Amino acid sequence: MTAVNVYQQRPTTGAKAESSLHHADLASLVGKGRKNAGVTVREKKLLGHLTLRGDGHDPAFAAGVHKALGLELPGALTVVIKGETSLQWLGPDEWLLVVPTGEEFAAEQKLREALGDLHIQIVNVSGGQQILELSGPNVRDVLMKSTSYDVHPSNFPVGKAVGTVFAKSQLVIRHTAEDTWELVIRRSFSDYWWLWLQDAAAEYGLSVQA
């Protein structure tokens, strides 16, 4: 394990944590709106987000990641998911690891132990981004309004993930199930994207899930 100083960054003193859309009070919107809405949004808040960098061509690196996480190292433009944990390719030597709330410290420790003295970098970016999950029969229609990236099933199958322009800004789109997609967004743009989604999904009906 490297000698880097690894410490718990999530407060353990009872400090109150709030998502970037806390002020929008999405919980109060659950069950309201049009029945059988074409799009359902769920805020996957306060998850642990870590960026991992290393040599993806090194078998020892891939083996260490698998040992620590139980996940295969994903190739270009893909994401692998196991329960509430996911690992996504961001670039030739960079991946995004998302883990359940509060597990980011343990995940980093496991990775550093499994990867030993390999040349790696792990950074906790949990405070800078979050995930919005979109599901329903009309999600693809909303995406077609919002991004120039081709989201046709033949070009964007389940398991694909890309960083792209979305609503004149940038985020990551992940296709996690047949009618389910995730938007990995920057916290500072949360208001903007929430307002955009309300407008873009209006004709299909938008519901909120807890």
pLDDT at residue 7 greater than cutoff 90: no
- pLDDT of residue 33 exceeding 80: no
CATH number of the domain at 179, please.
Answer: 3.30.1360.120
Q: How far is CA 176 from CA 51, 81, 182, in A?
A: 19, 8, 7
On average, the pLDDT of the chain sits at: 93
In a domain, 201, yes or no: yes
**27 belongs to a structural domain:** no
6, part of any domain? no
Q: Give residue 190's identity as a one-letter amino acid code.
A: S
Is residue 67 in some structural domain? yes
Confidence of residue 5 (pLDDT cuts 50, 70, 90): low
Does a structural domain hold residue 20?
Answer: no
**Quick check: is 75 in a domain?**
yes
Look at residue 2 and tell me if it is in a domain: no
pLDDT at 130 over 60: yes
Question: Does the pLDDT of residue 172 top 60, yes or no?
Answer: yes
In sequence order, the 6+-apart residues with CB closer than 8 A to the CB of 5 are: none
As given in the structure block, the two tokens for residue 57 are 């061509």
The answer to whether the Cα torsion of 150, 165, 86, 140 is positive or negative is: negative
pLDDT-based confidence at 55, cuts 50/70/90? Answer: very high
Q: How far apart are CA 179 and CA 170, in angstroms?
A: 22
Q: Report yes or no on 16 lying in a domain.
A: no
Counting the structural domains of the chain, the total is 1
pLDDT, tens only, 178-191: 999 999 999 999 99
Question: Domain limits at 160?
Answer: 34-208
- Cβ atoms within 10 Å of 105's Cβ, excluding its own: 18
pTM, 2 dp: 0.92
